[in-house]
Amino acid sequence: MDDYIVEMRHVTKRFPGIVANDDISLGIKKGEIFALLGENGAGKSTLMSILFGMYEPDEGEVYIRGKKVETFSPNHATELNIGMVHQHFKLVSNYTITENIILGMEPRRRIAGIFPAVDVKSADKKVAELSKKFGLEVDPTQKIEDLNVSMQQRVEILKMLYREAEILIFDEPTAVLTPQEIEFLLEIIREMRRKGKTIILITHKLEEIKKVADRCAILCRGRLVGMCDVATTSTKEMAARMVGREVSFELGKEPAKFGAPVLNVDHLSVKNDDGFTVVSDVSFSVRAGEIFAIAGVAGNGQVEIADAVAGLAPVSSGTVTLAGKDITRSSVRARAEQGLAYIPEDRQARGLILDFTLSENLMLKRYYQEPYCVKNVLHRDEFDKKSRELIERFDIRSGQGEQTVVRSMSGGNQQKAIVAREIELDAPCIIFVQPTRGLDIGAIEHIHEQILAERSRGKAILLISLELDEIMNLADTIGVIYNGQLLKTAPADTLTTNEVGQFMMGVKE
Ligand SMILES: Nc1ncnc2c1ncn2[C@@H]1O[C@H](COP(=O)(O)OP(=O)(O)OP(=O)(O)O)[C@@H](O)[C@H]1O
Ligand SMILES: [Mg+2]
């Protein structure tokens, strides 16, 4: 077994109420791209956090280059040339790119031979060299808070490379990227392999595994249930092994029954913080029983439309009407009470309170209503009862059920919790922004079924997604946004995927 650069033997890790990793043994070869596949909560992030020294296994051993790891800490992992890009980035937002990259290992120099100081110049130079070598261009003096997610990810990657990582762990790196950015990242990963690095890739997207990985390990509820050679295994087989059943990929969509318009957006314009117009004169309406989907490349204004409708971004001109009432200037809570549910894009910042329990999070929009609150007294047992019902219906997996602190939940299960809470509001109008980001294929199927069920119940649904497949499968009407404007609005069955793709690139008829 000497040719393994990483070896795990009988690794077990328990958290309160759950065995996150259950007797896992596997080996990773130097210079390979090793994929890790598994349902939400299967234990992927936990297993890789052990390798990166963030957790110590309760049982079992880890060997790096044949040598047993005795100390589990990220610092020690760094010394062993292991790096990790986490599912949720860990950058300091008011620091510059270089400052983030060198954090904790700042090159030192002495002013006048006496006073210690950080040698920013030489750090900037090394960062610039690395970005050139791997094609990851950045401006080292920019601050993190001014960067979009794809650039932040570049910084995380450079941070690993700066620390001379040879074993690089990527935890769902593509979940936050656009299709173009994904292609670019996969190419970077291939380039790293050519340079002899070992890569571990966690992803829910089977095509990505098929494209770049050599081998794939499949986890299911904490256990290793399969190890396959990617070249000789079909994506269908991988999916079936992971979920433990056939995944249909086909949705039963009932014929549309449209009612009256519920949401009307008229001549809407929105400016960003810098006063730049990001949504320009957009008009559309969503009827009861209709899924209106906005397709577009990320950053073309689609999220700003959702934010403006939900009351999270100010409208600079135009009106938003919900069930006949002008809500253009209403507060967020007033809109919710008027009948608007919202599944936001950034689940950690806007969708959840991470240090609250799952039950509290599920009741965030309801706690002040009966029967959860009677005469100003909160009834926690009612919270918990309702929460258990939602956990069951949406298959939200965690260690301690409704009492689990949300921060400890897996990324995908956090997302399921938001979707559950918002659908449960039973609002006539629901906005879904990237509802299935970070979800495993079984969970995606489930959420799609729930969205269609809401449509059948006569809800007006505004869907914003970067996944063209998702839009083509669900939408009744598609509006394609480009550069802040709706270039094309048409019934979904009159458009092909190809045509929508063209409009997304700004091609006009
Ligand atoms: N720090 C923690 N405290 C308590 N429970 C935890 C902690 N970290 C993870 N868990 C639990 O361990 C299980 C495995 O979580 P993990 O994050 O490894 O899943 P995952 O496979 O990465 O899922 P996803 O695809 O959703 O990211 C989950 O049930 C989660 O709730
Ligand atoms: Mg994870």
Query: What tens digit of pLDDT does each residue of 367-393 get?
Result: 888 889 888 888 889 989 999 999 999
Residue 45 near ligand 1, beta carbon < 6 Å? yes
- pTM equals 0.85
Q: What's the CA gap between 180 and 498, in Å, rounded?
A: 16
Q: And the tokens for 333?
A: 């809570």
Ligand 1 pocket mutation pick from 14, 219, 408, 419 by most atoms within 8 angstroms of CB:
408
Using one digit for the tens of pLDDT, what is the confidence trace for 122-155?
A: 888 888 888 888 888 888 889 998 888 888 999 9
Q: Report the separation in Å between the CA atom of 471 and the middle of ligand 1, taken as the mean of its atom positions.
A: 29
The pLDDT, as a whole number, for residue 1 is 47
Q: Report the separation in Å between the CA atom of 377 and the middle of ligand 2, taken as the mean of its atom positions.
A: 37
Residue 44 near ligand 1, beta carbon < 6 Å? yes
User: 10 Å Cβ neighbour count for 324?
Assistant: 10
Residue 49 near ligand 1, beta carbon < 6 Å? no
Q: Which of 186-200, 265-279, 299-313, 345-359 has the lowest mean pLDDT?
A: 345-359
Instruction: Annotate 401-419 with b (16+ C-beta within 10 A) or e (fewer).
Output: bbebbbebbbbbbbbbbbb
Residue 436 near ligand 1, beta carbon < 6 Å? no
Q: Report the separation in Å between the CA atom of 155 and the middle of ligand 1, taken as the mean of its atom positions.
A: 25
Contact (Cβ atoms closer than 8 angstroms) between residue 31 and residue 89: no
The pLDDT, as a whole number, for residue 437 is 87
* pLDDT average, residue stretch 267-272: 95
The pLDDT, as a whole number, for residue 186 is 95
* pLDDT average, residue stretch 193-198: 95
Ligand nearest to the CA of 411: 1
Ligand nearest to the CA of 40: 1
- Higher pLDDT: 262 or 497? It is 262
Q: Rounded to whole angstroms, what are the CA distances from 14 to 47, 98, 248, 299, 408?
A: 11, 37, 33, 40, 13
Confidence category of residue 84, pLDDT binned at 50, 70, 90: very high
Containing 26, the helix (H) or strand (E) segment is strand 18-29
Q: What's the CA gap between 437 and 451, in Å, rounded?
A: 15
Contact (Cβ atoms closer than 8 angstroms) between residue 459 and residue 428: yes
Q: And the tokens for 159?
A: 């941070």
Residues 6+ apart with CB under 8 A from 384: 359, 402, 403
Atom of ligand 1 nearest to the CA of 47: 18
Q: What's the CA gap between 486 and 448, in Å, rounded?
A: 25
pLDDT over 90 (residue 267): yes
The pLDDT, as a whole number, for residue 249 is 63
Confidence category of residue 2, pLDDT binned at 50, 70, 90: low
pLDDT over 60 (residue 121): yes
Q: What's the CA gap between 212 and 188, in Å, rounded?
A: 11
How large a percentage of the chain has pLDDT more than 70? 97
- Nearest CA to 460 among 334, 320, 273, 251? 320
Contact (Cβ atoms closer than 8 angstroms) between residue 419 and residue 391: no
**Which residue has 């069955």 as its token pair?**
493
Q: What is the DSSP letter of 87?
A: S
- Higher pLDDT: 216 or 411? It is 216
- Higher pLDDT: 109 or 43? It is 43
Q: Report the separation in Å between the CA atom of 222 and the middle of ligand 1, taken as the mean of its atom positions.
A: 9
pLDDT over 50 (residue 85): yes
Q: Report the separation in Å between the CA atom of 409 and the middle of ligand 1, taken as the mean of its atom positions.
A: 5
Q: Report the separation in Å between the CA atom of 486 and the middle of ligand 1, taken as the mean of its atom positions.
A: 40
Ligand nearest to the CA of 13: 1
Contact (Cβ atoms closer than 8 angstroms) between residue 496 and residue 209: no
Q: What's the CA gap between 158 and 169, in Å, rounded?
A: 13
Q: What's the CA gap between 23 and 414, in Å, rounded?
A: 26
Compute, in degrees rounded to 10, the torsion defined by CA atoms 359, 361, 366, 368: 90
Contact (Cβ atoms closer than 8 angstroms) between residue 240 and residue 233: no
Q: What is the DSSP letter of 143?
A: B
Residue 414 near ligand 1, beta carbon < 6 Å? no
Domains assigned to the chain: 4-243 (3.40.50.300), 261-504 (3.40.50.300)
pLDDT over 60 (residue 469): yes
Contact (Cβ atoms closer than 8 angstroms) between residue 147 and residue 136: no
Q: And the tokens for 502?
A: 């063209």
- HEC profile of 336-355: HHHCEEEECCCHHHHHCCCC
- Nearest CA to 175 among 88, 46, 293? 88
pLDDT over 80 (residue 114): no
Q: Report the separation in Å between the CA atom of 281 and the middle of ligand 1, taken as the mean of its atom positions.
A: 43
Residue 473 near ligand 1, beta carbon < 6 Å? no
Within a 13 Å sphere around the CA of 236, how many CA atoms are in the beta-carbon half? 3
Ligand nearest to the CA of 221: 1
**Which residue has 């400016």 as its token pair?**
271
Using one digit for the tens of pLDDT, what is the confidence trace for 10-57?
A: 999 999 999 999 999 999 999 999 999 999 999 999 999 999 999 999
Confidence category of residue 298, pLDDT binned at 50, 70, 90: confident
Strand partners for 11:
24
Residue 399 near ligand 1, beta carbon < 6 Å? yes
Mean pLDDT of the chain: 91
